[in-house]
């Protein structure tokens, strides 16, 4: 008969924080594909919210403002919740010592900033889906800025936290990979967000729509990257990493 500890470890493989980034990324990419495939299957129609001066590529929001609005709202809501819970899970698991713990107040502050940014970004994502671009153009654009800004703040907070962690756990290969992955995401997303804003302002909507789709797809990968961070907790126990020596090799752990 399996011991209590064995049962707990087995349960963590099926009921653990690492499921949130998986579910969120699947729902988000599924939402994007559902919108895109439907638009293409319908013959790439020109929606009411699209610019009449040469725009023939629909923004995500153009498709989400039509009869697929319930899908857009549902997908955005689930994705937002999973995004926030992924970051909260990382904060909680570090506190519990089930993944490499924070070693300074600065690291904890950066972690909290990343959670707050995720909450703001998540709220922005839900509200931009609710206040669609066809009926509430100004509000939609405001919440689009809130979403992008929140995600970028969250990503920056996470990168800075991991950078500070890396100074303590220099031999953790997993931590290094995760930090660089999120840093690259932040740089690329920041550059694309600026390009998107410029294209929107110059009314270059076809190029702007392409950039928006790329931004949406990249967000899927960023969210999924947290699975890499949280997965070790499925095999660890409380306080397992709290006594890890900072100079000790931890390449197989996070």
The pTM (predicted TM-score) of the whole model is 0.85
Q: What's the confidence (pLDDT) of residue 96?
A: 81
Q: What's the confidence (pLDDT) of residue 123?
A: 97
Contact 119, 35 (CB under 8 A): no
- In degrees, rounded to 5, the angle at the alpha carbon of residue 188 between the alpha carbons of residues 210 and 68 is 40
Q: What's the confidence (pLDDT) of residue 239?
A: 47
Q: What's the confidence (pLDDT) of residue 232?
A: 78
Separation of first and last alpha carbons in the chain:
31
From the number of C-beta atoms within 10 Å of its C-beta (0-12, 13-18, 19+), residue 194 rates as: exposed
Q: What's the confidence (pLDDT) of residue 249?
A: 43
Q: What's the confidence (pLDDT) of residue 238?
A: 55
Q: What's the confidence (pLDDT) of residue 118?
A: 96
Q: What's the confidence (pLDDT) of residue 86?
A: 94
Contact 196, 147 (CB under 8 A): no
Q: Which residue has the tokens 């498709």?
A: 63
Q: Which residue has the tokens 């919740």?
A: 81
User: How far apart, in whole angstroms, are the C-alpha atoms of residue 74 and residue 86?
Assistant: 18
Q: What's the confidence (pLDDT) of residue 78?
A: 97
Give residue-wise pLDDT tens across range 29-54: 999 999 999 999 999 888 888 876 77
**Phi and psi angles of residue 85, each rounded to the nearest 5 degrees, phi first:** -65, -30
Positions in the chain whose pLDDT score sits under 70: 1-15, 52, 234-254
Q: What's the confidence (pLDDT) of residue 236?
A: 54
214-225 burial, b at 16+ Cβ within 10 Å, e below that, comes to: ebbeebbebbbb
Q: What's the confidence (pLDDT) of residue 38?
A: 94
Contact 124, 144 (CB under 8 A): yes
Domain segments of the chain: what residues?
18-232
What distance separates the 2 farthest-apart alpha carbons in the chain? Answer: 71
- In degrees, rounded to 5, the angle at the alpha carbon of residue 51 between the alpha carbons of residues 46 and 53 is 100
User: How far apart, in whole angstroms, are the C-alpha atoms of residue 42 and residue 38?
Assistant: 6
């Amino acid at each position: 008969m399996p011991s209590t500890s064995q049962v707990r470890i087995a349960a963590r493989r099926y009921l653990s924080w690492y499921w949130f980034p998986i579910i969120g990324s699947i729902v988000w990419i599924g939402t994007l594909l559902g919108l895109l495939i439907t638009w293409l299957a319908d013959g790439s129609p020109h929606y009411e919210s699209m610019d009449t001066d040469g725009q023939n590529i629909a923004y995500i929001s153009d498709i989400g403002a039509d009869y697929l609005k319930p899908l857009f709202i549902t997908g955005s809501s689930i994705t937002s919740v999973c995004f926030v819970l992924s970051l909260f899970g990382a904060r909680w698991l570090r506190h519990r010592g089930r993944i490499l713990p924070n070693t300074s107040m600065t690291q904890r502050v950066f972690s909290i900033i990343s959670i707050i940014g995720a909450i703001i970004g998540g709220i922005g994502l839900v509200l931009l889906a609710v206040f669609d671009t066809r009926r509430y153009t100004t509000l939609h654009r405001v919440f689009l800025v809130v979403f992008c800004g929140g995600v970028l703040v969250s990503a920056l907070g996470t990168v800075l936290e991991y950078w500070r962690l890396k100074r303590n756990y220099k031999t953790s290969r997993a931590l290094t990979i995760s930090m660089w992955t999120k840093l690259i995401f932040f740089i690329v997303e920041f550059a694309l967000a600026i390009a998107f804003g410029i294209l929107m302002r110059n009314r270059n909507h076809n190029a702007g729509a392409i950039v928006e789709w790329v931004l949406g797809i990249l967000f899927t990968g960023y969210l999924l990257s947290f699975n890499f961070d949280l997965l070790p907790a499925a095999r660890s126990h409380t306080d397992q990493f709290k006594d890890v020596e900072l100079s000790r090799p931890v390449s197989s752990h996070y």
